[in-house]
Every structure is written in structure tokens, then in C-alpha cells.
Chain A
Amino acid sequence: MSNLVEIRDLQFSYGDRPILQNLSMDFPRGKLIAVMGGSGSGKTTVLRLIGGQIKAQRGTVAVNGEIVNQLDTDGLYRLRRKMGMLFQFGALFTDLTVFENVAFPLREHTQLPEELIRDLVLMRLNAVGLRNAAGLKPNEISGGMARRVALARAVALDPALIMYDEPFAGLDPISMGVTANLIRNLNDALGSTSILVSHDVHETFMIADYVYFLSGGKIVAAGTPDEMRRSTDPYVKQFVNAEPDGPVPFHYPGKSLAEDLGLGGKR
């Protein structure tokens, strides 16, 4: 099978509020696929569905041939051992040091001797440039460093699938560039498949092999970063060029200003 992750006819709602509608996506093995879209477009929900944190009302999410929304807890945990996830703000364990954070999955899932765990953790930290910060606590490092530690932790067990939830949010330009390069390099070095959820156009286009654009829970455009740059689709153009108005309106939908001011205007 060429796709590690396949989503078919997926529908998901929070209560009565639909989030994703008839969504179908493919994530080929070894590729770095970006899922882009504005806030509330449902892109993080896609990650949560792939990770089995939530279950779809209709459709299927298959990871490595296993239907995630049909797995029991044990099956889900077995599948998650092949996954790594980088959370938006790192989600490091605040009571553990940087070293212990990266060692955590190794200690939980392997019986490796302490010396080997130490070497593996130092190699992972070296890959993200933080070997010398191993003894620090999460509250002693910057947001960008925390993201890199979380990245080292996410790849500690050489996962087949790595998911990134807004890895560039709140980072300075240098940290953003460093993180983007790390994501690409780790994907290639580990031979894994990466799903990158982001709304940072520049960094994402720089490293992604393929991009899905989501809006209102549907795919509105898909293609390589070059194709997206050249796209004439109004939504993609507005998003890529950061235009304040377009298919995504500046104003929250509702009454017009004239109506609100009692001037008899229409929407």
C-alpha cells in the first residue's frame, strides 16, 4: 500500500456543529503532507481523528491498513506506538527534565538498558541542537526550544507517522526556520510519513511535498506548493497572499453595520 494514512468520506461534528464533511485525503508513505487552512477550518480535528483521540460519526480513517475508528483501546494504543505527535506548545512534562522528557517513551515502551537510553536520548537531543540543555527543566527553556525538545520526544521511538500540530505557532523567525528544517530532515532521515498542520504559508511551502487546503471542513484546493502558489482559486489566493478580505470575510457573518445603526441598510 502506497498510502500510510487514508481518509474516506469522513464526517465529524461537535454536537450539531459540523466540522468535517465528506472528507477524503491520502497521505503517501515517506512524504511530508501539509494540511492548511484558517482557524476553525477543521485541520487540527483531522489530526485528532487520525490519532484516535476522537471518533468520526461517518467514514473511515485508516492508518497502515487499520481502521482507527474501529479499534478498541488496546488496539489504539498499539497503533499509537508507531505514531509521534508534536503538540502546538510542546506539551512537555513540566516535572521532568529535558532529558527525562525525551527518555519518557523509551522508558515506557522498551526494556533498554539505562546506558543505551542515555545514548539514544543524547543523539535525539543532538539532532535538535539541545544536547547541552539535557539537564534543564521545561520552565528554564524558551518556547522554541520546548518545541524542539517535544520534536525529539516525538521521534524517540522512530515512528512511522509523525503528526505536527501548528509547530510554528508563536515562534520567532529563526526558531521557525530551524523547526521547519528539522521537520523536513527528520522526515527524510527516519523515512517516516509526516502530517503537518499549519497556517504558516512560507515555512510550510518550503518543506511540504503536497498541500491540502481546508475551509469549512472541506478540501477547497490540493496540490504541490508550487501549484498552490500559482493557483487562481480565490480562497488559496487570499490565504497565500494574506489578503484581509475575500472568500473568508473580514466581518463575522450577521447583521450589517447599517442595520445595527438603524439606518435601514440591508446585508
Chain B
Amino acid sequence: MTNPLALLGGFVLDTFARVGFVTRSFGGLLGKAPGALRRPTLISEQVHFIGNYSLLIITVSGLFVGMVLGLQGYYTLSQFGAEEKLGQLVALSLLRELGPVVTALLFAGRAGTSLTAEIGLMKAGEQLTAMEMMAVNPIQRVLAPRFWAGLIAMPVLAAVFSAIGVVGGYLVGVQLIGVDEGAFWSQMQANIDVRRDIMNGVIKSFVFGMAVTFTALFQGYEAQPTPEGVSRATTRTVVIASLMVLGLDFVMTALMFNK
């Protein structure tokens, strides 16, 4: 019979070793990232690939989330006779939380899975090994440009999501339900703080972009080079990246909005 203490000890050691390996990999990627800036075309190609291709799902989702916020916000605010605050509610919800968080979740599902599958299949097809044998570091040549692209694309996509969401809230709240248009925009303008609300939202989306893109690249790079291995890695990307986004969101919200 195996000693339960030995099992626990083994689990703890494995966990630490895994955390150490992931941290070292993240450090390795950060170390190679500046070198990738010397090849801006590689980064712009990836921004197009992972940013542009995510645009449709982000735009449509942003519109619907904004419309739902407009409806739910109106039902709640009207109970207190505060319908004119609808613009503020929609904008704050989107800028502080829903914009960065939902965009990051969609980004993990759309671009993250695509990155993991691409890197995993490159590994399975010996393309990464071939690169290494050509004395080209795949972390710098393949992973780093995609990492930069994720960092650049995520805040832009979150901004698009929030902007379209505000339009969705306006369409439902003002055009459909009949909330006063002047009140909708003026309340929003008067109560949104650039640093506290917009900048914090941008910081969140930047951090989420880093977490999701690194997770996707790491899972692809460490995937078993088989169809089953790539499939599992892709699933892990969605699960781990989503949980990281939600966990990081809680921590950052607690730090940013603690007064």
C-alpha cells in the first residue's frame, strides 16, 4: 500500500515543479520577446491573424451584451425612478468588467484555440524541430511575434467590444424603450473617469491578453505531437485561460476599485 504522506509529498513536489516549469517558460518567452520587435512585419501579420479574425465575434457579442445591459439596466433602474442613469450603468459595466472579461473569454475561444492548434500542429509536423535544426529559435521566431500580437490585439478588441456595447445599450435604452437621449449621454460623460474606469479597463484587457496568449502558446508548444495531444492542448487552453481571466479579474478588481 502506498503511504498517503508519500502521495501527498509527490503531489506537492509535482505541483511545484510544474509551476516552476511554467514560470521558467514564461520568463523564456519574455526574454525572447524584445528580439521579435526587430521584425515588425511578423508581428503585424499575427495581429491581423488573431485580431482581425476575432473582430466579427467580438463586434456581434458586444452589440448583444450592450443590448441586454440596456434592457436589464432599465428594468432595475426604473424601479427607483433612475432611468436617466442607464448610460452610466451601461458604460461602467462595459468599461470596467464586461468589455475586458467577455472579450478575453471570446479571445481565448477564438484566437487562443487557433494559436494552440497551430503551434501544436507545427510541432507534430516537425516544423519547430526543423527550425531548431536551422539554428532558428522557434520561441523567438514563432512564439514571440504571436505573444506581441496578443498583447496588442486584446486591448483593441476590448475597446471595440465596449464601444459597440454602448451602442447596443443606446439602441435598446433610447431608441427602443425611450430613455431620454440627452440624459443617457450626459450621465455617461459626467460619471466616467478616464483614469479610474477607462485606464483600469485597458490595464485589465492588457493583462488578460498576456495571460490568454501565453496560455495558448505554452499549451501548443508543450502539446503531445499527436492529433489527440493537440486536441487536448486546445481544450486545456480554453479551460485554463478562462479560469485565469476570471481569477485575475477578481484580483485586479479588488486592487483597482477598493475605495
List chain A positions with a Cβ less than 8 A from chain B.
51, 53, 77-78, 80-81, 83, 85, 87-89, 91-94, 104-105, 108-109
Contacts and interface: CB of A to CB of B under 8 A. Distances in A.
B135 A87 contact: no
Contacts of A91: 125-127, 129-130
B131 to A, nearest CB: 8
A91 B131 CA distance: 9
6 A-B pairs with least C-beta separation = A91-B130, A91-B126, A80-B135, A77-B135, A85-B133, A81-B135
Contacts of A94: 121-122, 125, 127
A82 B125 CA distance: 23
B135 A109 contact: yes
B132 interface: yes
A15 to B, nearest CB: 17
25 contacts: A51-B133, A53-B132, A53-B133, A80-B132, A80-B133, A80-B135, A85-B133, A87-B126, A89-B125, A91-B125, A91-B126, A91-B127, A91-B129, A92-B127, A93-B122, A93-B127, A94-B121, A94-B122, A94-B125, A104-B134, A104-B136, A108-B134, A108-B136, A108-B141, A109-B135
Contacts of B137: 77
Interface residues on B, range: 10 to 19
B78 to A, nearest CB: 53
Contacts of B135: 77-78, 80-81, 108-109
Given A77-B137, A91-B127, A108-B141, 12 more contacts: A53-B129, A77-B135, A80-B133, A80-B134, A83-B133, A87-B130, A89-B126, A94-B121, A94-B127, A105-B134, A108-B136, A109-B135
A87 B122 CA distance: 14
A177 B93 CA distance: 68
A62 B130 CA distance: 21
Contacts of B125: 89, 91, 94
Contacts of B133: 51, 53, 80, 83, 85
Nearest to B49: A95
B36 to A, nearest CB: 13
A87 B141 contact: no
Nearest to B118: A95
Contacts of A93: 122, 127, 130
Contacts of A80: 132-135
B178 to A, nearest CB: 52
Kindly name the residue among B121, B126, B127, B135 whose own CB sees the greatest number of chain A CB atoms within 10 A: B135
A81 B137 CA distance: 12
Contacts of B136: 104-105, 108-109
Kindly name the residue among B121, B122, B127, B137 whose own CB sees the greatest number of chain A CB atoms within 10 A: B127
Contacts of A53: 129, 132-133
Nearest to B125: A91
Contacts of A83: 133
Interface in B112-162: 121-122, 125-127, 129-130, 132-137, 141
Contacts of A87: 126, 129-130
Nearest to A104: B134
A73 B141 CA distance: 16
Contacts of A88: 126
A78 B135 CA distance: 7
Nearest to A108: B136
Contacts of A77: 135, 137
A165 B137 CA distance: 21
Contacts of A78: 135
A64 to B, nearest CB: 14
B42 to A, nearest CB: 11
Contacts of B129: 53, 87, 91
A75 to B, nearest CB: 11
A214 to B, nearest CB: 21
A213 B249 CA distance: 61
Nearest to A138: B125
B83 to A, nearest CB: 52
Nearest to A92: B127
